[in-house]
Amino acid sequence: MSELAVEITRGGHVESRAYADVAVVDSLGHIRYWLGDPQRPTFWRSSAKPFQALPVVLAGGTSQYHFTTEEVAMICASHGGEPEHVKTVAGLLSRIGATPEDLACGVHAPSYGPAAHDLEAKGIAPSPLHNNCSGKHTGMLTLAKVLGVPFEGYENPSHLVQQKIRESIAKMTGVDQSALQTGIDGCSVPTFFLPLARMAYAYARLVDPRGLEEPWQVGSTLIAEAMRLHPYLVSGTGRLEVTLAEATAHRFVAKLGILSF
């Protein structure tokens, strides 16, 4: 059962309360701290993006197409559709021989207000590049390219790209593939329904992968460092990841579970 996490008062009276479930897990899988129900299952949504990007690294996509650490951060992103985000995604698509039309994430205006207002002022319609999940989907197209399978249908659970991602989720969370439950995310790809503690365990292993086999250690380290160094590309101006980085001299890896549109 969720517990009271935040209480906001105004004029000496309680105005609102927020309840939460929290799990803090170490890289051995031990729950160290918790609030409410640390085993509460929920959809992982955008916080799963580093683990959806991991198969791209393991398959050799980031080395074959010479990804910079900025570009690795981009395929883990829920970005705001700012010009640098759009430019980075477009550059990656061009490099793998894909176009914005190959992205199955859909179209929405930039979530960063000034970028949306700028497009509107110029009379430019948003494109799939502005979707907050376009970086993740570009990573998936890169994986398809490296695996030698078609781009078409890469968002479907039966496609080899999503099967490789399913393997990654199972590996990093310690949940058997046969037990993984999924739904469809707002950007059309599978999203995983897991206990909070399993999600926290995956992040602990991402930043401390010593118990994993060497390829998984290397891949996890690359993704964690890219996210730590480039939080603006993972999110955008004024967002949680950037704020945490500025407050802690880039000591943490953070990923907000922003909703897809």
Under the banding of pLDDT at 50, 70 and 90, the label for residue 259 is: very low
Chain mean pLDDT for the chain:
96
Question: Phi, psi at residue 112, to the nearest 5°?
Answer: -85, 115
pLDDT of 261 reads 36
Tell me what pLDDT residue 33 has: 97
What is the model's pTM?
Answer: 0.95
Q: How confident is the model at residue 1 (pLDDT cuts 50, 70, 90)?
A: confident
Distant-in-sequence, close-in-space partners of 233: CB < 8 Å, separation ≥ 6: 70, 73, 74, 77, 79, 84, 85, 88, 135
Alpha carbon of residue 259 to chain centroid: 11
C-alpha span between 137 and 147 (Å, rounded):
15
Distance CA 138, CA 88 (A): 10
Task: Convert the pLDDT of each residue in 55-83 to its tens digit.
Answer: 999 999 999 999 999 999 999 999 999 99
Burial class from Cβ neighbours inside 10 Å (0-12, 13-18, 19+) for residue 221 reads: middle
* Per-residue confidence (pLDDT) for residue 258, from 0 to 100: 57
Q: What are 129-170's pLDDT values in tens digits?
A: 999 999 999 999 999 999 999 999 999 999 999 999 999 999
